Amino acid sequence: MEKNKVLIVDDQNGIRVLLAEVFNNENYETFQAANGKAALEIVKRDSPDLVLLDMKIPGMDGFEILSHIKAIDPQIKVIMMTAYGELDLLDKAMKAGALSSFTKPFDIDDLRKEVNQQLRGDFSTENKYAKQSS
């Protein structure tokens, strides 16, 4: 069986390395990108199943990257990560197709569970936010 692929997009190397280790241990194939350009190249080349996407990335913000990912493949699941209380940006990201968001510092176990649920189909993958706002 082919492994699910997780792309970790964060400009902080330590976070990318930590998350890659966690998800490699969960038996996922992981990819890392420090910026939007690299992230989009990986999306086009490797077609990840899920992207962990930081909101604040130099050059291209998380919302722009999310829009490009969804334009390339609307089926790719995206979970946003942010160190900021940018509720307006997160709101915009959720409406654009992000499934959920985690504020740094997040509980790594909570994030691991969310990714496992999204990729292993433990519950409906419909956008929870869309249901609340409709």
| pLDDT tens digits, one per residue of 40-89 | 999 999 999 999 999 989 889 899 999 999 999 999 999 999 876 667 77
Say if pTM beats, i.e. exceeds, 0.85: yes
Segment (H or E) for 103:
strand 100-103
Dihedral of the alpha carbons of 125, 127, 131, 134, in degrees to the nearest 10: -150
Confidence band for 122, pLDDT divided at 50, 70 and 90: low
Q: What is the pLDDT of residue 126?
A: 41
> What DSSP designation does 20 have?
H
Instruction: Report the b/e string of 63-76 with b at 16+ CB within 10 A.
Output: bebbbbbeeeeeeb
Confidence band for 114, pLDDT divided at 50, 70 and 90: very high
Helix runs in 1-134, H state only? 13-25, 36-46, 62-72, 87-95, 108-120, 128-133
CA 131: distance to chain centroid?
Answer: 20
Domains and CATH numbers, the chain: 5-133 (3.40.50.2300)
Best mean pLDDT range from 7-16, 101-110, 123-132:
7-16
Specify whether the CB–CB gap between 9 and 57 falls below 8 A. Answer: yes
